[in-house]
Amino acid sequence: MAVDDAVRVSSADAPGQPAKWRLGGVLWLLGMPGVVAVVWALLPPLRANEALLPLPLWAVVLVSGLQTAVLLALAVAVGVWLAPRVGLRAPAVSSWLAGRPIGPALRAQSLPGVWGGVVGALWLWGLSQVVPKALQPSDPASAMPLVVKLLYGGITEELLVRWGVMTLLLWLGWRVVQRGQGPPGKALVAVAVLFSALLFALGHLPAAQSLAGVLTAPVVVFVLVGNTAFGLVAGGLYARHGLEAAILAHVLAHGLAYPLL
């Protein structure tokens, strides 16, 4: 998995590229509906256990939303600052902000993104056939709403994990191994994709624990394997085609799989 040489740029402020603050602002706003959606989804269980909360319900909701919004801002800032240095980018958003037609950038990412979404949906369906009993919700109505999966999973997570974490990992490897010289090698890109996919999977363990109660070996293996595999797909799309391809694949994976689960 290598960064396409044709899309390498040396600086986000190079001619024809949008200013960093504009790109960061738009990407942050793009991820905020997912933050709102996940906080909204948390309201019913929080309200049901309001007596056990250390703070008033409104304060818990506010703190939760602010925490995620700040993490999103940090991830977006990392990507905006470091992505151009290692040949990663958000080509459609950048084209729009720079006043260029976004059609070419979207067309170049659409087919890979759609294929990634189809593969992801089939993977989610396959996982649903072997999901550990401990991870099956006792009440189907308590399952995460589709809107949360689309907005938070499909967009916000990609900004946090791929745009933020994967970019940072690739930049660190590039600085240490290549001393910041030349474009990152294929091996460095592959390592960044792999480690960001693993971190993406690890990030799902707290939710699994809250659902299962105890993180047994089958639960841990299921969560890590299932999420790492898709993380590899999304990371590869980001490296080769751009952030929007990874977002499209993630959104489609949830959207196409939802009727099958």
d(CA 20, CA 215): 41
Highest-confidence range of 9-23, 32-46, 224-238, by mean pLDDT? 224-238
Q: Which residue has the tokens 């369906």?
A: 125
d(CA 231, CA 128): 17
Structural domain including 141 reads 5-260
List alpha helices for 49-185, DSSP H: 57-82, 91-97, 103-128, 146-148, 157, 167-177
Total tally of structural domains belonging to the chain = 1
Q: What is the pLDDT of residues 86-137, one digit of tens each?
A: 999 999 999 999 999 999 999 999 999 999 999 999 999 999 999 998 888 7
Please answer whether residues 150 and 254 qualify as being in contact, where contact means their C-beta atoms are separated by less than 8 angstroms.
yes
Question: What does pTM read for this prediction?
Answer: 0.90
Residue 132 tokens read as: 């550990």
